[in-house]
Amino acid sequence: MTADLSIRNLARDFGAFRALDNVSLDIAASEFIVLLGPSGCGKTTLLSILGGFLAPSSGSVLIGGRDVTRLPPARRPTTTMFQDYALFPHMTVQDNVAFGLRMRGIAKPERRDKANSFLELVGLRDAWAKKPHELSGGQRQRVALARALAVDPDVLLLDEPLGALDLKLRRQMQDELKAIQKRVGTTFIHVTHDQEEAMAIADRIVVMNRGRIEDVGTPAEIYRRPRSLFSAGFMGEANFVPATVKEIRGSEAEVDTALGPLVLPLSAFATEPRGAGQKVTLCIRPEHLRLQPEDGAAALGQARVVTSAFFGTHHRCRLESRSGTELIAHLPQQAEVAAGRGLELWLARDQVVALAPG
């Protein structure tokens, strides 16, 4: 089953340390939400509170409209998939998956069948008689998933479940998690520090830092239109260039930067510019720097290649602009980018985002 989730003004202190600071978030039913952030940002604390393993210092959690803040894990409509899977080592796979059903007093034949159907869902039907230590890491993870889903929770909480897997397996599991979530329809809340993983599976990403929510949105929204410096820098590479607003003209604004004057559409500004003299930081992604003038591109003049590395689909280059500013650029595969070479640089103006300076 599934339900929506509402987090209202959640805070959690550990002594003098504020792990969560006034966090509010609304999650729709059947959404796949990813809590993304560096270690210590509070994402795991938030997950523990949602699961009922930790009590908040203040604030409330509502699931399906019901206040569950004071309910223990056993009575919440949530189940958690732990980072180390926590499969019961002395039980078979089938007994592990059926455990929650057994706790609900369901008779043996019924719960066996239900367990088997969930094992089928994760592709481990034939391993029902094995013990956890006989399984590989990826298989254990699937059993943990089946076990958590077998009790039909409204919300499934996943605590960095893919961290222990190698890259190839991780990518495979990401696809499978997404597919399974679509099939069962349960709301998934997934914690990770890997922004690539977040972008691969999330319907919406919640970027967290230092106990606060920095940004919320679809992967495309957050990547293309980040709302803070932290969010911009965390989602991918970015060149942060300080700028000052010079003049606002209709639907455009002219800014002074170290790269020269630029005219940006007002939509580029995260918050509406107030007027001349306002300081902003421009977020220019490496792929926004071009070698050819395209429609609307601004000319940045000559730049020199300092170093360059070939990444298959592109060259990642360190450039020095005319004015001495260092820029990271992703230049096309076929470009000539030997060190020391001079290039004409253009900027895709409509992709730039102007953020409040940090």
Residues near other proteins, by CB under 8 A: 51-53, 72-74, 78-80, 82, 84, 86, 88-90, 99-100, 103-104, 147-148, 151
Sheet strands side by side (includes 239-249): 260-265, 252-257, 239-249, 279-284, 353-355
Closest approach, Cβ 356 to other proteins, in A, equals 40
| Min dist. Cβ of residue 130 to other proteins (A) | 12
**Closer residue to other proteins, CB minimum distance, 88 or 310:** 88
157 vs 337, beta carbon nearer other proteins: 157
* Of 99 and 269, CB closest to other proteins: 99
CB of 71 vs other proteins, minimal distance in Å: 12
Question: How many other CB atoms are found less than 10 A from the CB of residue 237?
Answer: 13
One-letter identity of residue 234: F
Rounded Cα–Cα distance for residues 111 and 115 (Å): 6
Q: How far is the CB of 14 from other proteins (least distance, A)?
A: 14
Residue 17: its H or E element: strand 17-27
Q: Between residues 79 and 174, which has the closer beta carbon with respect to other proteins?
A: 79
Q: What is the DSSP string of 21-90?
A: EEEEEEE-TT-EEEEE--TTSSHHHHHHHHHTSS--SEEEEEETTEE-TT--GGGSSEEEE-TT----TT
Select 56 or 100, whichever has its Cβ closest to other proteins: 100
The partner residues of 82 in beta bridges, in order of sequence, read: none
Considering the complex, what minimum distance in angstroms separates the CB of residue 328 from other proteins? 38
| Contacts with 75 (C-beta within 8 Å, 6 or more apart), sequence order | 52
Query: β-strands 155-159, 78-81: how paired?
Result: parallel
Contact 255, 354 (CB under 8 A): yes
Q: Is the CB of 150 or the CB of 317 nearer to other proteins?
A: 150
Containing 118, the helix (H) or strand (E) segment is helix 108-121
Nearer to other proteins, 188 or 346 (CB): 188
The least CB distance from residue 44 to other proteins, in Å, is 13
Give the containing element (helix H, strand E) for 155.
strand 155-159
* Pairing mode of beta strands 353-355, 279-284: antiparallel
Find the shortest distance in angstroms from Cβ 80 to other proteins. 5
Phi, psi of 324 (to 5 degrees): 90, 5
Q: Give buried/exposed letters for 295-324 (b at 16+ CB in 10 A, else e).
A: eebbebeebebeebeeeeebbbbebebeee
In the complex, the smallest distance separating the C-beta of residue 2 from other proteins, rounded to whole angstroms, is: 18
Q: Which is nearer to other proteins, 73 or 358 (CB)?
A: 73
